[in-house]
Structure 1
């Protein structure tokens, strides 16, 4: 048997990351605790062995892939790191899935059950990997292909016996529960209620395996799509990127079976946001354009405004200044056309404050792409101030408040106002302590690190960094968290 060869690929990514072996080991242990894999205890000697060619056992390759992807802002696969990953079934690991009702129900039921059984806090097997580029966009384009009836009946041989008819009040209750879960997510972050949402999703797909009249099946598919989208969004919020993408894909399939194009557009917008977050704005833009095209005749003005706002974020991250300006303007103009009472509940999050915040973040992103341009930061500032003012008055949108406070902090950093930046970040830290959102925590830590790099001699910045270092590890499930 030949001797082990050093892992040159992993070593290259490790050297570029700037991490020490101890720091990487601590991050692996923290992510493992998030996933519920409490048996993992990595140290510097173990990291050294990986660099020397030892192949770690699952879920370490998946954890390393996620950590390096987040560090570099783009997808770094297990294979890119020179590691081997246990392969799962095509149904569990792929996203190019059959667009048919029975398969959709079966896949969501299987995936949610695995999430519940294998994963106490996010550890869904070890075979998931992010898809990007044509491998992601091309399968999603099949969402546009028409079906014969909009809702495909599950074949009789696939229907479980003993099913009962759902009453109108029972259907109403399922839909009301989904609304409640959305409210909890906005108030508390994705980390506190994700498992409850996954459990509810699994129960609804159990119901879909029974025989129902077409109108009832259509409502159940719509509820399934909303719950799968929410499960994906919560997974995204706590840093479980491959799991989030899988739920988004399944949500889009369910929305297609419900015949609900605007809901499908919402799902595609979430997938687009995820790609922008992972520094793949071109992929994000393609998904947003697919959402816009597919829902152009059916989405409300508020939904269309939201899609324009996410489109602006994609253009900003691509450095497309004129197109970003145009998308921002379209979002603002379209939003004024929205009318009370015409929107589904799932788009209720896109308020005037959200519009201000999205457009401000687009200009903030443009500033970074343009080499920290103060001109774009000055465009971001008034809109961000309005967003912060509105969300401070809304106790039901704590996570969004935190994001906009952090955004306000970054704008002040771009304008070289470190004292003001530290004050907003400090306020965001107070909100972050009351919710559970890895996205908020990560963005807050990154903003504070940038402040220390540029203004480490400013007392307010040093105090902020010291304050954050004393807070409990946000990935540790042990400390009790206060829900807002």
Structure 2
């Protein structure tokens, strides 16, 4: 159904959308502010629109918005109302291909339902991409998984320390695949490996979890491995610019992690959701998710896992320009890094974390706080250290370019940004692209400079037109 088509042609004026009108009234927002926020949220998720108060009037008169706009309207009103509402709650026609998109936002107690939802989400994602359409990130839906996970954390006994690598059987097989996907992701970005991860998770691993007769020890480790894969599906979706899918895979990963009783991994999944929320303009939620992760990982014997979570809280604070809280969170991250006895003594899920990871995240914090000299030092060290990790190097180069710009060194900034642009040619990573777009936005005051105009022209094929 397209924009301008009545929701129910046979109802005439009776087709007015009373449910939407009631929700807008309860939210206390004007038509213009609703339209503006829908446009803004859509742009963050790769959808360009120019709705205005007249568009809202048409929706109220019974017209069905196009594409994923009903989900965006629901996301905006959920924010304003402080509770989740769905497109069907707002009187929009349900899309028969999208029910799983709503179910996948929920952390469910019923394990069989979780596995069915994950398998259906993956199947829809892979084989019916054109029908799935753009799936929006819904900030208000982050409350449910946080609450359910924290309740599980309070009610469940301490998890035992198990070594998944020596478990043998299907667990060892799944870990081998995780290692291969990790290597591909580091070299080529999530966009290049995403479909393979989703396919393996939903066609091979979920059926393993549904089989009966697996010994409890093996079953628990298998659930933890599946949770890691689902989180990887989330991260790779994030890297491909599929932010709504990223949120849904990570939410389901958290539920699988409870079955695996793995607190280190649970903390890392919450770190991923925190990263997603902060980068999509909800740093308050990013901090809340990081704090939930810190509560999860404390006492788990994983200083590196805690280091990452404190770094994520620092990112959220920096995005809110809260310099004191940022500095304290980074101090605590450094403290946890120093407390680690080395990667070999840590969980397999966090062995990739090291001093260079913290440098890169610190550089982003300093950039957001406008601390150019500190951002230059840490981003520069990250560029040198991450030569083999193209995505991380591309992001750090973009941050380094911004640091030069913050210190009024335009020539160096453009030169470094041009190097970042060349790196992007071999990395399928929307996160890397967004980091360079952030730099380009900061060039607006200097757009009259020939050097800037040349960079904008050169970057347009990769970064798109200047907004």
Is 2:68–2:133's contact at 8 Å kept on the other side of the alignment? no
Between the two proteins, the alignment pairs up a number of residues equal to 421
Aligned to 1:61: 69
Stretch of structure 1 that moved more, 310-319 or 336-345: 336-345
Written as runs of structure 1 = structure 2, the 5 A alignment for 1:245-394 is 245-338=247-340, 339-367=342-370, 376-391=371-386, 394=387
Q: Deviations over 1:188-219 (max 9, x none)?
A: 11211111100111110111111211111112
Q: Which has the higher contact order (CA 8 A, sep 6+)?
A: 1
Q: 1:292: how far off?
A: 1.0
Q: Is the counterpart of residue 195 in structure 1 residue 190 in structure 2?
A: no
Q: Can you list the C-alpha shifts for 1:82-140, whole angstroms capped at 9, x where unaligned?
A: 994636547843534323543333332232222223226xx636776514264554334
- C-alpha change, 1:138 and 1:471, in structure 2 (3 Å) is closer
1:449 aligns with 2:441: yes
Structure richer in helix, relative to its length: 2
- The residue aligned with 2:123 is 113
The answer to whether residue 45 in structure 2 is matched with residue 2 in structure 1 is no
**1:158 — aligned with what?**
none
Check whether the contact 1:91–1:107 (CA below 8 A) recurs between aligned residues.
no
Identify unmatched segments of 5+ residues in structure 2: 1-11, 21-28, 78-82, 161-166
Distance 1:11 1:244, change over 3 A: same
Q: Are residue 99 (structure 1) and residue 109 (structure 2) matched?
A: yes
- Aligned partners of 1:90, 1:471: CA distance in 2, in Å? 32
Structure 2 residue aligned with 1:478: none
Q: Secondary structure at the match of 1:446?
A: helix
For 1:18 and 1:103, how far apart are their aligned partners in 2?
A: 34
Instruction: Please say if 1:144 is aligned against 2:146.
Output: no
CA distance in 2, matches of 1:127, 1:31: 10
CA 1:129–1:400: 2 relative to 1, 3 Å = closer
Q: 1:35 matched to which residue of 2?
A: none
Alignment check: 8 A CA contact 2:136 2:243 kept = no
Which one of 414, 433, 449 corresponds to residue 458 of structure 1? 449
Q: Does the 8 A contact of 1:50 with 1:56 survive in 2?
A: no
Contact 2:171/2:225 (8 A) holds in 1: no
Equivalents in 1 of 2:394, 2:410: separation in Å? 18
Q: Give, in whole Å, the separation in 1 of the partners of 2:275 and 2:308.
A: 11
8 A Cα contact 2:240 2:430, kept in partner: yes
What are the Cα deviations for residues 251-297 of structure 1, in whole angstroms up to 9, with x where unaligned? 11111111110000000011111111122222111111111111211
Distance of 1:257 and 1:332 partners within structure 2: 31
Residues 209-262 of structure 1 show CA distances to partners (whole Å, capped at 9, x for unaligned) of 112111111121111101100001111122222211111111111111111100
2-structure distance, mates of 1:473, 1:389: 28
Whether contact under 8 Å (1:276, 1:284) holds in the other structure is yes
Q: Give the secondary-structure state (helix, strand or coil) at the position aligned to 1:113.
A: helix
CA–CA distance in 2 between the matches of 1:387 and 1:361?
11
Return the alpha-carbon distance in structure 2 between the equivalents of residues 236 and 66 of structure 1.
21
User: What residue number does 1:482 align with?
Assistant: none
Q: 1:16 to 1:107 in 2, by over 3 A?
A: closer
Contact 1:384-1:407 within 8 A present in 2 as well: yes
Cα gap change, 1:421/1:176 in structure 2, threshold over 3 Å: closer, same or farther? same
Paired with 1:129 and 1:103, the residues of 2 have a C-alpha distance of: 22
Per the alignment, do residues 125 and 150 of structure 1 end up closer, same or farther by CA in structure 2, a change over 3 Å counting?
farther
Shift of 1:344: 3.2
For structure 1, the residue ranges without an aligned partner over 5 or more in a row are 33-41, 70-74, 152-166, 368-375, 475-484
Question: In the alignment, is the contact (CA less than 8 A) between 1:96 and 1:139 conserved in 2?
Answer: no
